[in-house]
Structure 1
Amino acid sequence: MKELKAFLKSKDVSKSEIFKALKISYDEGLILQYLCQLFFGSIPNISILNLLQGLFKDKEEFSYLDHLKDIRHLMELGLVKTGYSMLQDQNKESLFSLLHMDISLSEYFLQFLENKKPLDLSINVAYENHLEYLKDEFERIKLYTRLSFNPQNLDFKKDIQAYEAHIKKRLAKSKFYNVLAEIFKENKLSKKEQIIFIALLKEEYSLKNEESSSRELNSLLALVSENELEKLKNRALLDENSKLIEKNLIDYDEFSNHFYLSESILQRIVNFKRLDKDKQLRLENALKDQEIFELIEPNTDINDVIMPAKTKELLENILKQQDKKVLERLSLWGIKNSKEVEAKIIFYGPAGTGKTMSALSMAKSMKKVVLSFDCSKILSKWVGESEQNVRKIFDTYKEIAQNCKQSPILLLNEADQFLSTRVESGASADKMHNQMQNIFLEQIEKFSGVIIATTNFLESLDSAFSRRFEYKIEFKKPNFKERFLIWQKALPKNAEFSEDFKLDDLAQYELSGAQIFMVVKNTALKVAVSKDGIFSMQDFRESIEKELSSSFDKSKIVGF
């Protein structure tokens, strides 16, 4: 407060500490001082014409026009605000267009004027909850705001480094659910993107006017830029193709030229609900009461699966339903209104070719869990019970979905006989089977979300089911190139191999992906108990021959 009073009363503005900290020109200092005197004298804004005429009235006629460039520079620094659009090219805009605009001190500058207390780093205990943590993050944004006035100030930079280390230490001791960290991790946000995100979140929590200058492009860029050149480079962080905009984390209002957190992401932060003990218990009970479902948390995404390029492209196109532009187009065309991915898919092909793994990986890419069941368990020896089980599948699915953040993917594993062609006969077993399929067809028709059925034989698929599944994707046994990549992925990374070991030779064997992983596992168990612990080609050959001889799919062995 002492420095502020000195700045307000100073007859030579250049001698005040505030002026020295800002590193601006003398005339720019006079403009800021005059605006401060008006502000603290209950006049929050004034037209630029009146300001310049009043401040530089003793000079020659119209000389005040020379000071329009000072106004523009103060705007670029984020120290003052006007009705001027911060997204326009300031170098192309006429200076004279500023004359009849109102000007006022920016919120950034007002924060800067507040007497800064020394950082309190004495509290070194765990955060009790995410709100306590957010307070520290918002304090961190204030430090970046202060730095934006003087980006080269080493003391300011040290304060930020110390405070960020302080937050990191407290987080390491904390056990609360950190929804902010989860959002950053999901979207792979850089440090600069995180700062912009938190700055906008701070505006939401501070309940300030939605027209706050802190939401403007220049203000946000000032937080993550040390100079004007960096500001130009960092504009990419907030353009229409940026990660923050593309992933629907923030929105841009063209009318006000302000940025806001998207409503969906704000609701996720403000109203998040972590799966508590009661909810977890209900989920476990829902699974315990039936014998069909298995809840799976996927740990690989679509990029972890080795598959033909065309197959991967098709799966990626399905995943692109999550893309903001795709959703907007589909909604505009009246195709869909839900933001959830909707797809009914059949994966077909020989066993071990990656059908289930691909289903799990799609779920991971969509940030969903998988609700899987073995179709063979549905067919009961008791007449009528199978129809009940079909209804139970979808009723239980809905119950479990209520305990998940997003609707799970429904996985029908080994659906061969379940989706097979209906039989026209008078036998009671056939009638039951047909009735069960009719009920299932009805449920599939009404199903909203993602359902994936895996089968070894597409030829036996009932045509009624075929019509209800939009995607039928074939999984073939891997070719040599794909087998080579699978071997690379499956082999232990820290193991020692014999001199005669050749990956090309292993890839010659016509094995499925599942068989390759099984061979590696069996070979590793054998080598682990050996004297030298070295993987040899002979070890692999023996495991491969054993796997092929025991396989129902009698794949031929290709010689070297």
Structure 2
Amino acid sequence: MKNNQLKEQYLDLSSKLFRLLTIRKKYQSKIEELELTSEDGKERESLIRKVADLNRRIKLIEKRLSEINQKSERAGIKIPFEDLAKGYALSKEEKYLLMAIFFSVTDPYSGKTTGFELLRLFWHKPDEIVEGCRFLQRLIKEELIEPSDRFLLHNPTILTVEYFLTPKAMQIITEGKALLLTETGDGASEKGFGKEESLWNDNLLTIREPIATLDQIVLDERKRNLIERVCFQMEKGAELMKRWGFDKTILSGKGAVLLFFGPPGTGKTMTAEAIAKRLGKKIGIVRYEQVYNKWVGDSEKRIVQAFKVAKKENCLLLFDEADALFGQRLNETTSTDRMHNLMTNLLMQELERFEGICILTTNREVAMDSAFARRILLKLEFPIPNPEERAKIWRKLIPQEAPLAEDVNFKELGESFELTGGEIKNAILNAVQELIYRGEDKITQAILITFAERELLSAKRERKTKIGFAN
């Protein structure tokens, strides 16, 4: 039997085992409910027989899994789940808990993966479930599972938190095939990433080649000149500073920190990408939930790692929706306040050390910590574009090759609809898709108006003028 066949059989049977355990849990819960309400003895007896049948089928699958494992050992083939269990000396219960969490991602029969629901797959009595907590604690200690971030601020317990596999566990179980990295495994190795760095970068820093250019973005002259000055500083400034000896007297704060604020869809992220393109760098995007989703201590490690990877990859670092990360420090009345202040202090420290360009974006002008504010080289507002700018955006987003009807009037569209660049893009895409669906071959003013109105309605803004009528 080929290597892959053994592995596939093991995985298929493990999935079936998980399904049977899930169904058994549901039956068992219904039996307990009927026992409490003293309802329908026949239904209860029927469920008990079903549970007995499920137990028989579960034992058969366990026996078959054991046979496959023995066969693979004789053939020198590693079964990932068994290899993981052996390497960490896991009990059968601990191995099954890992299976349950793994298959909860891929299996339509799965339910929640809270500690309580996971343990209920195997035990039903309260004292058994409490005793089973030690298995979860062991998996956490071995860094094979992690708690979900959704419960961290709500007095969680080991039973109420949902769990997911760590990148380390996922790498072993899937043999590296399902590990979400910004680069492929080979690419990461070629670039000098060690195992620990690659795992920390998983789902933390989204690194990509920039596509947008500054020429494609509608900016007023003042804003464009300020951005060009920053680009010049990053291209030539370090060289001049070193030539003039400032590298000996100014040891930190040599990078550039920019703050872009304004409503969603106004071009903040696209401008950051265009700056990266202008400087010949990749762009690395960090979002709040990607940093602030671990227990105390892990968030700080992820911040440090974000700057470390950005430096190694030579990329522009973009903190998207940075309100929570860069807000004012708090009076420490709770552990959450202390954690926020620790994160703020660490971010300022990393910004001081970072010699590249870092851009913070936020949907509103925030009350920023004063120490952060001192580190901002350039603060730019991205408001909803004015009518003239909106007309330019309409024109830029519709390519020259597009079949425009003669009645299309970008000036009127710009004046009539107070839309952001992102909303104009949506209106155009939806209009074109509608035309394709209808089988029509001309982009008309009417179809653009229809979908511009929909975007305006969605944004809860009113039309500025009525097309064809005076104000």
1:133-532 to structure 2, matched below 5 A, reads 278-279=186-187, 281-282=189-190, 289=200, 290-321=202-233, 329-336=240-247, 342-380=255-293, 382-398=295-311, 401=312, 404=313, 407-508=314-415, 509-532=417-440
Quote the Cα distance in structure 1 between the aligned partners of 2:276 and 2:455. Answer: 30
Change over 3 Å in CA distance of 1:541–1:317 after alignment to 2: same
Query: Deviations for 1:183-225, whole angstroms, at most 9, x for unmatched residues?
Result: xxxxxxxxxxxxxxxxxxxxxxxxxxxxxxxxxxxxxxxxxxx
| Letter of the 2:293 counterpart | S
Q: Is the 8 A contact 2:267 2:382 kept in 1?
A: yes
Quote the Cα distance in structure 2 between the aligned partners of 1:469 and 1:280. Answer: 32
In the alignment, structure 1 segments of 5+ residues that lack a partner are 1-274
Ranked by relative contact order (alpha carbons within 8 Å, sequence separation 6 or more), the top structure is: 2
Tell me which protein shows more helix as a share of its residues.
2
Residue in 2 aligned with 1:72? none
Q: Is the 8 A contact 1:296 1:371 kept in 2?
A: yes
Quote the Cα distance in structure 2 between the aligned partners of 1:556 and 1:330. Answer: 51
Change over 3 Å in CA distance of 1:335–1:345 after alignment to 2: farther
- Displacement of 1:347 after TM fit? 1.2
Residue in 1 aligned with 2:171? none
- Displacement of 1:345 after TM fit? 1.2
Normalised to the residue count of structure 2, the TM-score between the two structures is 0.54
Query: Deviations for 1:116-156, whole angstroms, at most 9, x for unmatched residues?
Result: xxxxxxxxxxxxxxxxxxxxxxxxxxxxxxxxxxxxxxxxx
Quote the Cα distance in structure 1 between the aligned partners of 2:260 and 2:450. Answer: 32
- Displacement of 1:472 after TM fit? 1.4
Quote the Cα distance in structure 1 between the aligned partners of 2:440 and 2:198. Answer: 46
Q: Is the 8 A contact 2:323 2:366 kept in 1?
A: no
Q: Is the 8 A contact 1:287 1:294 kept in 2?
A: no
Quote the Cα distance in structure 1 between the aligned partners of 2:463 and 2:289. Answer: 32
Q: Is the 8 A contact 1:287 1:293 kept in 2?
A: no
Q: Is the 8 A contact 1:484 1:507 kept in 2?
A: yes
Quote the Cα distance in structure 2 between the aligned partners of 1:396 and 1:559. Answer: 49
Quote the Cα distance in structure 2 between the aligned partners of 1:393 and 1:357. Answer: 20
Q: Is the 8 A contact 2:427 2:451 kept in 1?
A: yes
- Displacement of 1:450 after TM fit? 1.0
Residue in 1 aligned with 2:444? 536
- Displacement of 1:327 after TM fit? 5.9
Task: Please give the secondary structure, in 2, of the residue aligned with 1:529.
Answer: helix
Change over 3 Å in CA distance of 1:424–1:327 after alignment to 2: closer
Quote the Cα distance in structure 2 between the aligned partners of 1:549 and 1:276. Answer: 42
Larger Rg: 1
| Letter of the 1:464 counterpart | A
Change over 3 Å in CA distance of 1:359–1:505 after alignment to 2: same
Quote the Cα distance in structure 1 between the aligned partners of 2:457 and 2:404. Answer: 25
- Displacement of 1:538 after TM fit? 2.3
Quote the Cα distance in structure 2 between the aligned partners of 1:498 and 1:301. Answer: 28
Quote the Cα distance in structure 2 between the aligned partners of 1:427 and 1:276. Answer: 41
Change over 3 Å in CA distance of 1:530–1:321 after alignment to 2: same
Quote the Cα distance in structure 2 between the aligned partners of 1:278 and 1:536. Answer: 49
Quote the Cα distance in structure 2 between the aligned partners of 1:443 and 1:484. Answer: 41
- Displacement of 1:299 after TM fit? 1.8
- Displacement of 1:393 after TM fit? 2.0
Q: Is the 8 A contact 1:347 1:473 kept in 2?
A: yes
The alignment status of 1:548 with 2:461, answered yes or no, reads no
- Displacement of 1:437 after TM fit? 1.3
Normalised to the residue count of structure 1, the TM-score between the two structures is 0.45
- Displacement of 1:416 after TM fit? 1.0
Quote the Cα distance in structure 2 between the aligned partners of 1:287 and 1:481. Answer: 46
Query: Deviations for 1:265-321, whole angstroms, at most 9, x for unmatched residues?
Result: xxxxxxxxxx99955555597556522111110123222221010000001111122
Query: Deviations for 1:147-182, whole angstroms, at most 9, x for unmatched residues?
Result: xxxxxxxxxxxxxxxxxxxxxxxxxxxxxxxxxxxx
Quote the Cα distance in structure 2 between the aligned partners of 1:287 and 1:546. Answer: 43
Quote the Cα distance in structure 1 between the aligned partners of 2:371 and 2:257. Answer: 13
Residue in 2 aligned with 1:55? none
Q: Is the 8 A contact 1:346 1:473 kept in 2?
A: yes
Quote the Cα distance in structure 1 between the aligned partners of 2:419 and 2:198. Answer: 35
Q: Is the 8 A contact 2:261 2:382 kept in 1?
A: yes
Quote the Cα distance in structure 2 between the aligned partners of 1:530 and 1:336. Answer: 64
- Displacement of 1:344 after TM fit? 1.4
Change over 3 Å in CA distance of 1:288–1:522 after alignment to 2: farther
Quote the Cα distance in structure 1 between the aligned partners of 2:273 and 2:371. Answer: 26
Residue in 1 aligned with 2:70? none
Change over 3 Å in CA distance of 1:385–1:280 after alignment to 2: closer
In the alignment, structure 2 segments of 5+ residues that lack a partner are 1-182, 467-471
- Displacement of 1:451 after TM fit? 0.9
Q: Is the 8 A contact 2:188 2:198 kept in 1?
A: no
Q: Is the 8 A contact 2:310 2:316 kept in 1?
A: no
Q: Is the 8 A contact 2:235 2:279 kept in 1?
A: no
| Letter of the 1:518 counterpart | N
- Displacement of 1:529 after TM fit? 1.2
- Displacement of 1:550 after TM fit? 2.1
User: What is the number of equivalent residue pairs in this alignment?
Assistant: 276
| Letter of the 1:346 counterpart | L
Quote the Cα distance in structure 2 between the aligned partners of 1:440 and 1:333. Answer: 29
